[in-house]
Amino acid sequence: MDEKLLKFQVGIVVLAALAAALILIMLLGAWPTIFESYYTVYADFPEAPGVARDSPVLKSGIKIGHVRSVKLLDSGRVQLTLEIESQYKIRKSERCRISRGSLITGDAVLEFYTPPDAPPSDVLLVDQDSIKGVVAGDPFEVFTNLEDEMGSAFASMQRAGNQVSDLAATMRDLVGDNGEQLKRIIDKTENALDQLNRTAASINNLVGDPELNERLKGTLERLPIIFDDAQKTLAETRQTLAAFRETSIRAQRNLANMENFTAPLAERGEQLAEDLAGSVRNVNQLLSELVRFSESLNSPDGTIGSLARDRELYDKLQSVIGNVEAATRQIRPILDDVRVLTDKLARDPRLLGVKGALDRRPSGAGTKWPIRSP
């Protein structure tokens, strides 16, 4: 009885140990849980360094699945079978990349990401879909390829360090010899910084002015109009330049015509110069005669000079002119009477004598003269 109880207790302990082991395996992820569902995606890569079964599949740093199998194709490419948890959705615009999860262990991880130049898409991957993936660069290979460049860079850094040391020594000597001058330079630099701070404050106050901002906004709004006016001005300027070009062509044509006109003048230049010199001499002679004439007019011995200088003669001349005007006024009525008389005589000649008085024809009938035939 005690032996059966002991065997029963041992069996219970073994079952409990198996159940605990199974639970631990499920909790630690070494065995896929039966409560989760997956969909399969086939990823094609040129190579798969460090990828093995159960390698994690990430998206935005979160594990969304694992690698179920790794298959080497005849073409040399690698096909990975991925199992993605059904709760995570992947768009077709996303790409799969193999990268190093840790630089120490060298484990590889697969990560889904969205390329910056990929167009947005809402189409999701479904079960049994195939995609193409890329392989991120290995940092160790990069460092290996940069071995020569790193050596050159370290050598350049060493030379730069030596130059900095020389510069520091030169600066130390300079500061030791010109300490007072350096102090003045520092003081001037502080003053310059103070002025710069004040200028910045003034600019800040200027920019922060709401009225000025409104003016600037209005100016910016008028910029398109100004640009349109500038384009119109440029068009008018082009037209003006075209007119100037046409004018210059005409001017060149006129100059050519003037050249044809002045060529004979140039050939007869000596004769024209002589003619011009003769004309100048004649003008000088005419001016001399005019001078002599004006001198004779101004001379007191001449008539006009005497008239201008003799007051009595001028008064007599004025009196004569006045008498002539008075006589003209007196003669005008007589002339009018004579005009009327001659008009009457022309109409009736009988008014001249007795014969006219004896003539019984009515006044104004006139005299009939015989008409001669031609």
pLDDT tens for 242-292 read 887 888 888 888 878 777 767 776 777 777 777 777 887 888 888 888 777
For residue 65, the tally of other CB atoms under 10 A from its CB is 23
- In this structure, the answer to whether residues 65 and 120 fall within a common structural domain is yes
Q: Is pLDDT of 58 > 90?
A: yes
- Predicted confidence at residue 68, as pLDDT, reads 93
Range with the lowest mean pLDDT among 129-133, 165-169, 309-313, 331-335?
A: 309-313
134 DSSP β-pair partners: 97
In the structure, how many helices (H) and strands (E) does the chain have? 9, 7
Q: How sure is the predictor about 79, in pLDDT bands with cuts at 50, 70 and 90? A: very high
Output the six-digit token pair for 200: 């910045």
* Cα–Cα dist 14/20, whole Å: 10
Answer yes or no: is 170 within a domain.
yes
Residue 138's Cβ-count burial label (10 Å; 0-12, 13-18, 19+) is middle
The mean pLDDT value of the chain amounts to 76
Residue 359 lies in a domain: no
Give residue 84's pLDDT. 93
Query: What is the per-residue pLDDT for 238?
Result: 84
* Residue 136 DSSP one-character state: P
pLDDT at 342 over 90: no
Token pair 């005419």 is found at 286
Could you tell me if 123 and 155 lie in one domain? no
**């262990």: which residue's tokens?**
105
Domain co-membership, 92 together with 151:
no
User: Are the CB atoms for 106 and 50 separated by under 8 Å?
Assistant: yes
pLDDT more than 70, % of the chain: 71
User: Is residue 64 domain-resident?
Assistant: yes
Which residue range is the domain that position 103 belongs to? 35-141
Question: Do 50 and 105 have their domain in common?
Answer: yes
- On whether residue 91 sits in a domain, the answer given is yes
Q: Report yes or no on 162 lying in a domain.
A: yes
Burial 97-107 (b: 16+ CB within 10 A, else e): bbbbbeeeeee
User: H or E segment at 248?
Assistant: helix 210-267
Residues 135 and 150 in one domain: no
Q: Counting beta carbons within 10 angstroms of the beta carbon of residue 242, is it exposed (0 to 12), middle (13 to 18) or buried (19 or more)?
A: exposed
Single out the residue of 115, 107, 106 nearest to residue 133, CA to CA.
115
Among 111, 115, 119, 122, smallest CA distance to 43 is for 111
Angstrom distance (rounded) from CA 319 to CA 79: 145
For residue range 109-162, list pLDDT tens digits in order.
899 998 888 888 888 989 999 999 998 866 556 555 556 666 676 677 777 777
Q: Which residue has the tokens 């460092």?
A: 143
Please check the confidence at residue 77 and state whether its pLDDT lies above 80: yes
Residue 172 placed within a domain: yes
> Confidence band (pLDDT; 50, 70, 90) for 374?
very low
Q: Helix or strand or coil: residue 284?
A: helix
Question: What's the sign of the alpha-carbon dihedral 345, 349, 355, 356?
Answer: negative
Is residue 152 located within the same domain as residue 125? no
Same-domain pairing of 133 and 105? yes
Distances from the Cα of 205 to the Cα of 189, 202, 228, 302, 359, angstroms: 24, 5, 33, 92, 126
pLDDT reported for residue 56? 92
Of the chain, the end-to-end C-alpha distance in Å amounts to 201
For the chain, the domain total comes to: 2
How many CB atoms within 10 Å of residue 57?
A: 24
The model scores a pTM over 0.75: no
On whether both 40 and 116 belong to a single domain, the answer is yes
From residue 301, give the alpha-carbon distance in Å to each of 64, 296, 308. Answer: 140, 8, 11
Classify residue 321: in a domain, yes or no.
Answer: no
151 and 64 housed in the same domain = no
Q: What is the pLDDT of residue 373?
A: 47
pLDDT at 9 over 70: yes
For the record, the structure tokens of 266 come out as 């140039």
β-pairing, 129-135 vs 38-45, is parallel
Contact call for residues 58 and 65 (beta carbons, < 8 A): no
Beta bridge pairs of residue 84: 39, 65
Q: What percent of the chain has pLDDT over 90?
A: 14
Q: What is the pLDDT of residues 208-251, one digit of tens each?
A: 667 766 777 777 777 778 777 878 888 888 888 888 788 888 88
Residue 353, pLDDT above cutoff 70? no
| 42 and 134 inside one domain | yes
54 near 66, Cβ under 8 Å?
Answer: yes
For residue 366, pLDDT beyond 60 = no
Tell me the pLDDT band of 319, cut-offs 50, 70 and 90: confident
Please report the pLDDT score of residue 369 as a whole number: 47
pLDDT above 60 (res 370): no
Q: What is the pLDDT of residues 11-50, one digit of tens each?
A: 888 888 888 887 877 666 545 555 578 999 999 999 988 8
Count of Cβ atoms closer than 10 Å to residue 250 Cβ: 10
Instruction: Give the pLDDT score at 71.
Output: 93
Residue 218 lies in a domain: no
